Chains A and B, each alone.
Chain A
Amino acid sequence: MGADFVMLGLVPLVVGVLTSVACALLGNFLVLRRQALIGDAVSHVVLPGIVLAYLATGTVAAGAMLLGAGAAAIAALVLIEIVRRAGRIEPGAAMGVVFTALFAAGVLLLEQTDTGKVHLDVEHALYGNLESIVWFAADGWGSLLDPAALAELPPPVPRLALALAAVIAFIALFWKELFIGTFDPGFAESVGARPGLTGFALVVMVAVVAVMAFDAVGAIIVVAMFICPAGAARLMTDRLLPQLAWSVAFATAAAVAGYMLAAYGPLWLGFASSVSAAGMIATVSGGILALACLVGPRRHRRGMQAADGGA
């Protein structure tokens, strides 16, 4: 764990943790509102967004990609709502209709465009490339205190730190609205807390985080982190604030353990190369959720425990 680690391993690890925690915090509300699959839908439509942005600007600069992906995500959310209302279709199917169609359009556009010269492909959007974020300016732990080296930090680090800060600020500012809007939308409406508006703001935040994260870590880790840590935390406690704390702990654990396993696990087993860190982080988060499902103190639905005992 020396200079090599600071240069090659530390930044991906930090990016993984930042992304995971930001996703997990928002995920708590998605899980409680039965909107867990919004993250899945949003992360699929990122692809047409970045392809369109590339076609419009001709570059793969991060700013254009983020704008394109963000616009596509918001457009998809609006489309889902339109399809759901206009066609009177149940939300799950409406989501399926919109995100598969947009993803298909993205794939076709991508295949039709000559993107051979630039690094832009479906696999990259799906599982990112955490390992390639290297902090070239670092030459040891001392670099963490060296302003010159810190200025050279790879752009995903400040970007995701910003995303996490935005998520925390959003939850802190709208805590009351989110809380009552999640548990009792009718009551929230009656006291003027605008549950519809908070709900939309939440979904937009989800889109923003998913878009900021996909470039560094890919869509798959984003979907896993929106759902698994929050789902596991839901099985640990009945109170919202402790649930958020549990989800942060689970997300951090999954990111650290997943990254370490991916980067160093194969080496310990005697293989020459590492495996996908994003995939491994998702896998570890699934392991945590499975454990919580088996032994989490609040895993049972109310009344189910008694029924199980009787049977």
Chain B
Amino acid sequence: MLDAFVAALFLQAGYNTALVTAGAAVLGASAGAIGAFMLLRKRSLVSDAISHATLPGLALAFIVMALATGDGRFMPGLLAGAALSAGLGLVAVEWITRRTRLTEDVAIGAVLSVFFGLGIVLLTVIQAMDTGRQAGISGFLLGSTAGMLRSEAEVIAVAATLTGLAIFVLRRPLTLVCFDQEYAATQGVNVRATDLATMALVLAVTVIGLKVAGLVLIVALTILPPVAARFWTNRVERMVLIAAAIGAVAAYLGAVVSSLGPGLPTGALIVLVSFAIFLFSLVFSPLRGLLAGQMTTLALRKRVHERQGLLALARDEPIYDPLTLKVLRRAGYIRADGAATLEGRSAALAATREEALWGLYRKLFPDQALNADYHGLTPINEALPPDVVRDLEQRCNLRAA
């Protein structure tokens, strides 16, 4: 098992498997990248409508080809049908959102369920047609790379690469439109055309990925990697790159594990690997992760307790709060019996001065103080320019005198 895994991991498990894994990785990268733009536009679930809307097209294409040639499993034909009906679904979502007062979530839900329902009806028609070869279709529901033909794998790899290139070429307008459509328009970007291009790229990724991930789960490829990537950076270019990398790794690993044996559906494995990466990001990201957030909260609490404790020392007030006592003792500001040390005395004086200066600043310039994200714990010398601090000190001294 392990040998097979290592062989597949390093593309040594035969030409077909290598081609499928490489193709899946390229597909994952393209999906992650375009999904990042969808996430920033808060339209992640549009791809859910697109993927479900492929089913009637797939089934119709199968029926037409089966009637014409006797075999409905010709993949480019199936994908063309899928793209056509997914495009129709997309137009329906846009039309309902723009033309009626229904919101986008209603449009998405209606399109995905109705198109999928129609697809199911057509699937039962195929079953009744007695061609005995519906296996070609059911692989699209949950995805299966096992037993994929070489020509199919080649189509997927080439198409996914082309999609990735298109995203790379369009990255500037895509980014601009994400954040400021009016500014983008003044820069000569055609917002409507860019929107259409985004949707076309999502559609392309979805249709190409159908056979790999299956139409129920392909949506995860455009949602999970970008959401995970968002935890690691605040810059678009990096987020898109990270999303592409996560997508590639997840799809690659998923395809590798899936090639090891039966009962390991590719789509489900890719999604679970992506989800694991998402969970890791959620907990450990230094920027927005839960752990980092908890650390920030704890650090802030310590600083608040330290400041309040020092102010109490300066005013010779007794301190009862156990956490404050602990923080002061750790810092060496008080002895075990609660009496202030020499450092404690001077730190208390400094804290009083800080508090007085900040208080004065807040009184004199309430607007600036509000905008400065002030919580009074930043040393004033670091937060404000030296001349302002000097001015504040002079006013303070005058007042004291």
* CB of B45 within 8 Å of the partner chain: yes
**13 chain-A/chain-B pairs, Cβ below 8 angstroms:** A31-B103, A36-B103, A37-B45, A40-B113, A126-B141, A220-B116, A221-B113, A227-B106, A227-B113, A275-B125, A279-B116, A286-B118, A299-B100
Q: A23-54: contact bitstring with B at CB < 8 Å (1 yes, 0 no)? A: 00000000100111101100010000000000
Q: Tell me whether A300 and B278 are in contact (CB under 8 A).
A: no
Q: Tell me whether A278 and B223 are in contact (CB under 8 A).
A: no
Q: Tell me whether B105 and A34 are in contact (CB under 8 A).
A: yes
Known A104-B271, A289-B110, A299-B100; contact A123-B217, beta-carbon cutoff 8 A:
no
* CB of B159 within 8 Å of the partner chain: no
Chain B residues with Cβ below 8 Å from A92 are: 42-45, 105
* CB of B109 within 8 Å of the partner chain: yes
* CB of B123 within 8 Å of the partner chain: yes
Q: Tell me whether B110 and A228 are in contact (CB under 8 A).
A: yes
* CB of A86 within 8 Å of the partner chain: yes
Chain B residues with Cβ below 8 Å from A196 are: none
Q: Tell me whether A101 and B271 are in contact (CB under 8 A).
A: yes
Stretch from B163-171, B180-188, B224-232 contacting the other chain: B224-232
Q: A72-111: contact bitstring with B at CB < 8 Å (1 yes, 0 no)? A: 0000000000010011111011111100110111011001
| Cα–Cα distance between A304 and B282 once the two chains are bound (Å) | 42
Chain A residues with Cβ below 8 Å from B102 are: 31, 231, 234-235, 293
Known A87-B227, A108-B268; contact A231-B101, beta-carbon cutoff 8 A:
no
Q: Tell me whether B121 and A262 are in contact (CB under 8 A).
A: yes
Q: Tell me whether A93 and B223 are in contact (CB under 8 A).
A: yes
* CB of A57 within 8 Å of the partner chain: no
- Chain B interface secondary structure, helix, strand, loop or mixed? helix
| Cα–Cα distance between A105 and B141 once the two chains are bound (Å) | 15
Q: Which chain B residue lies CB-closest to A265?
A: B121
| Cα–Cα distance between A279 and B142 once the two chains are bound (Å) | 18
How many residue pairs link A and B with beta carbons under 8 A? The number is 211
Q: A94-B227, A234-B102, A234-B106 are in contact. List 20 more A-B contacts (CB 8 A).
A: A31-B106, A35-B105, A36-B103, A37-B105, A40-B48, A96-B219, A100-B220, A103-B268, A104-B275, A107-B217, A108-B269, A220-B120, A228-B110, A273-B128, A274-B124, A275-B124, A279-B118, A283-B114, A283-B117, A286-B114
Q: Tell me whether B121 and A275 are in contact (CB under 8 A).
A: yes
Chain B residues with Cβ below 8 Å from A228 are: 110, 113-114
Q: Size band of the A side of the interface? A: 35 or more
Distance in angstroms from A310 CB to nearest chain B CB is: 16
* CB of A271 within 8 Å of the partner chain: yes
- Count B-side interface residues using an 8 Å CB cutoff: 60
Which residues from chain A sit less than 8 Å from chain B, CB to CB? 31, 34-37, 39-40, 44, 83, 86-90, 92-97, 100-101, 103-105, 107-108, 111-112, 122-123, 126-127, 220-221, 223-224, 226-228, 231, 234-235, 262, 266, 271-276, 278-283, 285-286, 289, 293, 296, 298-302, 304
Q: B84-118: contact bitstring with A at CB < 8 Å (1 yes, 0 no)? A: 00000000000110011111011011101111111
Q: Tell me whether A279 and B288 are in contact (CB under 8 A).
A: no
| Cα–Cα distance between A223 and B101 once the two chains are bound (Å) | 20
Chain B residues with Cβ below 8 Å from A37 are: 45, 48, 105, 108-109
Q: Tell me whether A123 and B141 are in contact (CB under 8 A).
A: yes
Interchain CB contact (< 8 A) of B101 among A88, A93, A111, A298 = A298
Q: Which chain A residue lies CB-closest to B279?
A: A101
Give the interface centre of B100, B117, B219, B272 by most chain A CB atoms within 10 Å.
B117
Q: Tell me whether A93 and B39 are in contact (CB under 8 A).
A: yes
Distance in angstroms from A169 CB to nearest chain B CB is: 26
Chain B residues with Cβ below 8 Å from A302 are: 101
Chain A residues with Cβ below 8 Å from B268 are: 103-105, 107-108, 111
Q: Which chain B residue lies CB-closest to A224?
A: B113
Give the interface centre of A36, A221, A271 by most chain B CB atoms within 10 Å.
A36
Interchain CB contact (< 8 A) of A231 among B106, B121, B216 = B106
Stretch from B236-244, B259-267, B297-305, B316-324 contacting the other chain: B259-267
Q: Tell me whether A100 and B224 are in contact (CB under 8 A).
A: yes
| Cα–Cα distance between A275 and B59 once the two chains are bound (Å) | 13
| Cα–Cα distance between A226 and B271 once the two chains are bound (Å) | 26
Chain B residues with Cβ below 8 Å from A112 are: 263-264
Q: Tell me whether A108 and B121 are in contact (CB under 8 A).
A: no
